[in-house]
Every structure is written in C-alpha cells, then in structure tokens.
C-alpha cells in the first residue's frame, strides 16, 4: 500500500520548504534526505545521545523523536545555519579554540543544544555549564573543551 503523503511547509534556517513527506519520516531523516542538510546526525535514534538535536520554534529538540509532519508551520534551525556569512559563531569559535570536538559527529547536536540553552538562560559557573551539556553524549573529548566553550561564550555575553 502506498503511503499517504502529507504536505509540510515551514522554514529551515530561515529558508522556506514545501515538501510532501511520508508520515513516518522522522524530522532527522527529513532534514538529511529531503533537504540534504546532513549536518544533523543520527547516533542512537532513541533520544539519548543528542547528536540529532535541532531547534524547533526556539526549543532544542531531538530530531529523531519528532516526525517531519509535525514541523508543518514551524521554524527549524540546524547546525548549517549557525555561521552567518561564513563567519563562525562565537560558540563555534570557542569549540575550535578549546578542542571541544574530535570526530565531530556529536558536535552539531552540542552546538544546537547549547545555542538554545544560552538563549534561554545564563550560565554562571562550571556546574551549570555541565548541566547544559549533559543532554548530549560525546565519546571523544571527555567534555572539558565543551565545558570551557560554554563558559567562554556565557562570559563573553555577560561582558558584552
């Protein structure tokens, strides 16, 4: 039986999309396969590792646990949208400076989680930085560069 497709319209990184999708297509696969935005990675497909984290209407969200049909009318942000005009965002720069990534597979999820968190709240100390990062798994770095990056950017904002 052919699947009934649903029309989904919204924006990704400010660019409109208008695509017919199968209802069972996850948001992550939609971004990767239909929009060819392959920066959103799939590490576990059950919502724990956080590699697929994107921002949907301002909220950090597991793209593996949301269906593409559900983003009809939504504004989605992915890692591809972080660097405006080719200039790395301060968080991306901090990741590089602090060696907060090695294999880089988990990195987009961390960037999106932290981006959303820093919009919502300030991070005052290391404990809070670790809390902000704790919903994503990195197997390479041991987190120290990630923690430092969150602190750097939070401090940069506080100083600005």
- Residues within window 93-122 making contact with other proteins, judged by CB under 8 A: 95-97, 99, 101-108, 111, 113, 117
Q: Which pairs count as long-range contacts for 2-7, CB under 8 Å and 24+ apart, including other chains?
A: 6/69, 6/72, 7/72
Shortest Å distance, C-beta 124 to other proteins: 16
- Residues within window 130-159 making contact with other proteins, judged by CB under 8 A: 130-131, 133-147
Q: Which of 9, 15, 20, 24 binds other proteins (CB under 8 A)?
A: 24
Question: What DSSP letter does each residue of 80-124 carry, written as one string?
Answer: GGSSGGGPPPHHHHHHHHTT--SS-SSHHHHHHHHHHHHHH----
Shortest Å distance, C-beta 79 to other proteins: 4
Q: Which residue, 58 or 158, is less far from other proteins as judged by CB?
A: 58
Q: Taking CB under 8 A as the rule, which mask of x and - marks residues 55-94 in contact with other proteins?
A: ----xxxx-xxxx-xx-------xxx-xx----x---x--
Residues with Cβ within 8 Å of residue 136, at least 6 apart in sequence:
49, 50, 51, 53, 106, 109, 110, 113
């Amino acid at each position: 039986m052919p699947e009934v497709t649903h029309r989904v319209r919204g924006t990704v990184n400010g660019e409109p999309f208008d695509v017919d999708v199968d209802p069972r297509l996850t948001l992550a696969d939609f971004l990767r396969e239909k929009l060819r935005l392959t920066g959103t990675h799939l590490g576990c497909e059950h919502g724990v590792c956080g590699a697929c984290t994107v921002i949907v209407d301002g909220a950090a969200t597991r793209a593996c646990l949301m269906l593409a049909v559900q983003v009809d009318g939504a504004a989605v942000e992915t890692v591809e949208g972080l660097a405006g005009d080719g200039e790395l965002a301060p968080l991306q720069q901090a990741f590089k400076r602090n060696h907060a990534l090695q294999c880089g597979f988990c990195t987009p999820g961390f960037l999106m989680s932290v981006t959303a968190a820093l919009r919502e709240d300030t991070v005052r100390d290391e404990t809070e930085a670790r809390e902000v990062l704790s919903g994503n798994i990195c197997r390479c770095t041991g987190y120290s560069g990630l923690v430092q990056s969150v602190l750097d950017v939070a401090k940069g904002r506080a100083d600005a």
